[in-house]
Amino acid sequence: MVGRPPDRSYRSLRGLESTASTSRVLNLAAVASQNAADPDYRAAPFFKAASLNGAVLVKHRLRADEQFVFEAPRQTATKLIIPFERTDLSLGGRSLFVGQRGWEDMLCDLRGDWEDEARDVRLLEAIDELPSLDPFLMREHLRRRDFKIASCYFAISLADVDRMQRFVAGEISKLVDLAYGGKSRGAPNAGITKLVTLLLSGEDDDRLDPLRVTLGLEGDDFREGVFCWKGFLYYKWALNSLWPELRDVVAELTEIKVVGPRDDELLVQVKAAGAQVNQAILGQVRQVRDTLQVYDDAFAELTQAGNPVAFRSFLLKSPRMFVTLGERTGTVSHIASFWRYRFPKGRPLKVELDELSDILQDFRHGLSGEDKKTRKLARPPPPPLYVDEPLPGPTREEPIGKAV
């Protein structure tokens, strides 16, 4: 008797139908269905072409057989997917990569509308500049580029915005004293709140002039530096929030049980891959923390030693560092959000072997940045890292075992 094939809907567009956004995905179809009656949604749509406002945007890790469509090698690209049917994403759709050869002509065909075509092209190019689709950073980046887009497209809860503002206030309180001579209009806390609001608003305000003078930056250098500084603060805050979720993933990878058809050789390799993924997650977090430490050290030079040179140098270099930081944080954020989407809290941690193999292969691919021509773990086999755990017996339900 042939067993029922495992459900792979979570890997298709259908799995995104109720999800508005993650660090890697912006589902405009879901935003449309959830906000169709919102006047703000109708007044300030994401794209000017209605055909694009049911699209799905994905920060996609390019594989080796996808590189040929670009003039120069790149690791990630922004993928635009136009579903054949907005109400049933499982039917698939047409897609293109922003920046691939001839992509603007392809976009014109997908839009089916000549109105404001240049604006939609600029919007996609702006999104392609970002390392991830984190709603907060995307909102601020697009605001800096003068795109007027309804807030419902950026799924940031008011509670998260409030927590972010409090976190930033705590970070920069010493800078307020340094840049503004310890003086504020009103209570000291009010001065900090005003500066935080200005920094997070993305507006070019002359009330930031003391900060410009302190940092010794002008014009585009100041605007770009402040944006990337805001990005570092965002990722620092995000990592604090993300770390408990990642610890859950690491723990659950050691507890998840394989059910259904068995392949003993693949099971051994999946066990090893689970260990590698856990170690890679922890390594990725360490790299993020190391990059954030560069910021912390430079900021300490400014606020504790009163030396703005190091922080000015950091801000000038920050755009390049910001991209790497965003990619690394986005990778582990995707792992945490996808894992919880696939294995909700309170549900049994059970999965068929082939499906777990696919999941771990995707995780390994993202964490390593390697391009794989095959999705299976069978060739070449990863080194056996489970040195302290005996192989399970031939049962139909078994835990994967310790991974770290």
Q: Which residues contact 233 (CB under 8 A, 6 or more apart)?
A: 167, 168, 171
Instruction: Supply the pTM of this predicted model.
Output: 0.68
What tokens were used for 387? 């040195």
pLDDT digit string (tens) for 43-99?
999 999 988 988 999 888 787 788 889 998 887 899 999 887 655 656 667 889 999
pLDDT of residue 404: 30
What tokens were used for 404? 């770290």
**10/340 Cα distance (integer angstroms):** 12
**153/326 Cα distance (integer angstroms):** 20
Q: Please check whether residue 294 is in contact with residue 300, taking contact to mean a CB–CB distance below 8 angstroms.
A: no
Q: Which residue type sits at 258?
A: V
pLDDT digit string (tens) for 107-165?
998 887 667 889 999 999 999 998 888 887 788 788 888 899 998 888 666 677 777 77
Average the pLDDT over each of 1-10, 76-85, 250-259 and give the range with the smallest value: 1-10
Confidence of residue 322 (pLDDT cuts 50, 70, 90): confident
Residue 157, sorted as left (phi over 0), alpha (psi -120 to 50) or beta, turns out to be beta
Torsion angle in degrees (nearest 10) through CA of 83, 89, 91, 94: 20
* Residues forming a β-bridge with 25: 58
Pairing of strands 93-97, 25-27: unpaired
Whether 310 shows a pLDDT value over 50: the answer reads yes
**220/289 Cα distance (integer angstroms):** 28
Cα Dmax for the chain: 79
- By percentage, how much of the chain surpasses pLDDT 90? 24
Tally of CB atoms within 10 A around 351: 20
pLDDT of residue 121: 94
Radius of gyration of the chain from its Cα atoms, rounded to whole angstroms: 23
Name the phi and psi angles at 77, rounded to 5: -145, 160
pLDDT of residue 368: 78
Output b/e per residue, 157-167; b: 16+ Cβ within 10 A.
Answer: eeeeeeebbeb
- Give the residue, 192 or 363, on which the prediction is more confident: 363
Confidence of residue 21 (pLDDT cuts 50, 70, 90): low
Tally of CB atoms within 10 A around 145: 14
Q: Please check whether residue 249 is in contact with residue 339, taking contact to mean a CB–CB distance below 8 angstroms.
A: yes
Q: Which residues contact 321 (CB under 8 A, 6 or more apart)?
A: 228, 291, 294
Q: Which residue type sits at 214?
A: T
Q: Which residues contact 348 (CB under 8 A, 6 or more apart)?
A: 257
Q: Which residue type sits at 363?
A: F
pLDDT of residue 22: 66
Q: Name the packing angle between helices 158-179 and 219-255 (round to 10°).
A: 130
Nearest to 25 by CA among 244, 245, 341: 341
Mean pLDDT within 272-283: 92
Measured CA to CA in angstroms, residue 224 lies from 176, 199, 210 at distances of 20, 12, 17
Average pLDDT, the chain: 77
Q: Please check whether residue 325 is in contact with residue 291, taking contact to mean a CB–CB distance below 8 angstroms.
A: yes
**75/63 Cα distance (integer angstroms):** 8
Whether 280 shows a pLDDT value over 90: the answer reads yes
pLDDT digit string (tens) for 154-201?
866 667 777 777 887 777 777 776 666 655 443 345 666 777 777 666
Domain boundaries, the chain: 9-153, 158-215, 243-399
Q: Which residues contact 275 (CB under 8 A, 6 or more apart)?
A: 385, 386, 402, 403, 404
What tokens were used for 265? 């050789």
Please name the helix (run of DSSP H) or strand (run of DSSP E) that holds residue 3, with its range, or none. none
